Structure 1
């Protein structure tokens, strides 16, 4: 497949609190840019953009956002903060984003709640959003390495993904099968390899003249308001 790499690559991080979202951003940027916490407490209060330049001159612009289903207040307060942060993220980069990384944690049990979160993102950003603009990032790659070392699974990560059933398989279908395993505690060779895998996937799947822009976000907001007015949904994220 032939494609042309963008000189500036715009990436946004999405995910629930405690899945390693900010640490993943640091791994991509090759430096400690975002504050992360070892426990399940959210430390990201608003959208934050950081920039790094890769060898060869390519620039990465990465935006970290507060956790979906944030743990600092009620569900409604968490949704309101996330909506505010997403608007900030869109405004701070009106040209748009090439890709949104939906961060999950390897080893966690995936539930209907995770599927509801993906449905929430479609309602917020528009139909086809997750399929077109999202990649699943599975953190805790070191745990996958351990199950291989303990002979609990004999295969690659993608083979493990193919073996999974239920909610995870539906999540994978929701992003058209685009998934990468990330070890945020690996050595430099591991970091370099997974960064290259991610950037190659973005280049091959995303950079065909498409960005998720401020205009698309505003159109999605208008569609959502229309559904609310028609009584088809009572409020964004009610199912979440």
Structure 2
């Protein structure tokens, strides 16, 4: 993020530009803008205008537009290196369209892609299957609680590699499992899984990131 034309920092890529920004990213922009005003690169009026835009910025592209003409290297602000495969982020983008339920009765129901998930998500599979692929979703809350119920059916949860995972739940003539882990990445979301597997199965998996990510 945030380009220095001196070449000290890598240029942003299109994939990253489309990603939703989080509060920590907007705060970093404010720090850069404040330093730029103190350095004389921005007038107070320019700082006020850009700071206002940073508050409502939604993507990295929005934030980059506010800082890409500033001499970042001269401002003394530590800038994190950009990543082609950034970890999952908590955006706080909760709204009416946030996903809260997935239900499959003698059928299948999937959650994939970049949907926004609320702080609680209920997955119910009755003689059917629910698959929750959380590897690209936007987390509206720092903690996502998944209540999974599988009755003669199955609930499969695919979690990102670098999140904290806490597994609970009960299996009766069925299986309720997965591997808990603790993330060391600052700001990583927490996924808590609870619920019931009755003559069915609930399983959380943490797939390794595909090698294709290194070539996109």
Q: Which has the higher strand share?
A: 2
TM range (shorter): under 0.3
Compute the TM-score of the two structures, normalised by the length of structure 2: 0.24
Higher helix proportion: 1
Structure whose alpha-carbon radius of gyration is higher = 2
Query: Taking structure 1 as the reference length, what is the TM-score of the superposition?
Result: 0.23
